[in-house]
Amino acid sequence: MRKIIAVVTPFILVVTAWTLAIKSESMGVAAQSLFSVLPYVFAVLAIILSTWYQNSNSFFFTCLLLISYIYMTVLSKTPAMLFETISILSVLLPINAVWLSFSQERGIISTYGRNKAIIIGAQVLWALISIMTKSSIKIPAEFSLPIINLKAPAIVLYIVCIFVLLMNYIFKGQYLSLIFVAVLIETFIMLHFAHRHLIVAIFMSSIFVIMVLALIEIFYSLAFYDPLTGVFSRRALEQEFLKLRGSYIIAMVDLDHFKKINDTYGHDVGDQVLKMVASVLRQYAGTSRVFRYGGEEFVAIFTEMSYNQAVFKMDNVRKLIANRKFVIRDKNRPEVKPDNVTTSHNAFQNTINITVSIGLSQKNNLLKTPYEVLKKADEALYKSKNSGRNCITKI
């Protein structure tokens, strides 16, 4: 549910900004004064959050958006300057959104952060010089219209960049790409009304709120989700223990011979194995919440079923993992299959069998806290290990 909210909220804010923009002419002086300040407040908040957590992509995009707002509302003192600002921003904003979305996150205060700052700074300086050269040019015809029409290439660029960002989110799960989609939609609408400062302020306020909420969501995910497997992290498990009430069952899952897999096939294969096991746990462990406890250990918590049902579910998970062949592609496999070459299915790949050992325990009169139940589940897990692995033990 939280993930759905995180996806939907930015677009709710887009609709909200549009609704407020429609009603902007009827706003009182107090509301107009408030919106003249809000973009700066939320922009500074987004910059502080980005700096605190060293998220360079959101930091530099927020800075670019803030400078864009200043260029539109403060620097562009004549219609010709504003028209030039719109022309430049309609190119810079979508291109930088795609670039920063695909750029690796390596911190603000680093060589990579410095390089990003130079690139953004050069663009900002070029835009400034270009805008200032238009200060003496006459008003273009476009400013006699209630809406400023963007140039066709800029519209196409926006559409292409939004599509690329959506694909990056759909296929790679990059949440920041989805956020940039919402931001680009808002900037696209906003640029059509760049000569109306209140509407610009409304949309920029919404944009910076989106950036703030996105940063909060990203930092929450970093804190409470395991980045490799996508399941909850150990910190999330500790938070879950504080909320547990009533009866519950805790299962501990450990990959058998995981060190041997890492030593034999490398850590990349080991990571893929962890992802596979986590995926099976999430799909087939019923109503449990799955956590990565550390290394190759996972924890599942059941609160809505009996002990026997939980044991049945976890034994089913064990069997599914044991029966699933994990395919390892041969390092010598060519990128493109040669013409007129017939090979068997396993010519460039082999398989390994993955198994897990499981221990379960439940809350009772003797085990009253989650940590006590977890400790017993851990003891049950080691009984499974000592019993030959690939089995389940309950206490």
Over residues 128-135, the mean pLDDT reads 92
Percentage with pLDDT > 90 across the chain: 69
Q: Which of 109-118, 227-236, 241-250, 327-336 has the lowest mean pLDDT?
A: 327-336
Q: Which domains does the chain show, CATH number per domain?
A: 2-224 (no CATH), 234-331+345-394 (3.30.70.270)
Over residues 158-185, the mean pLDDT reads 96
Over residues 231-240, the mean pLDDT reads 92
- 3-state SS, one letter per residue, for the chain: CHHHHHHHHHHHHHHHHHHHHHCHHHCCHHHHHHHHHHHHHHHHHHHHHHHHCCCHHHHHHHHHHHHHHHHHHHHCCCHHHHHHHHHHHHHHHHHHHHHHHHCCCCCCCCHHHHHHHHHHHHHHHHHHHHHHCCCCCCCCHHHHCCCCCCCHHHHHHHHHHHHHHHHHHHHHCCHHHHHHHHHHHHHHHHHCCCCCHHHHHHHHHHHHHHHHHHHHHHHHHHHHECCCCCCECHHHHHHHHHHCCCCCEEEEEEECCHHHHHHHHCHHHHHHHHHHHHHHHHHHCCCCEEEEEECCEEEEEECCCCHHHHHHHHHHHHHHHHHCEEEEECCCCCCCCCCCCCCCCCCCEEEEECCEEEEEEECCCCCCCHHHHHHHHHHHHHHHHHCCCCCEEEC
Over residues 342-356, the mean pLDDT reads 68
Specify the pTM: 0.79
The pLDDT tens digits for 35-75 are 999 999 999 999 999 999 889 999 999 999 999 999 999 98
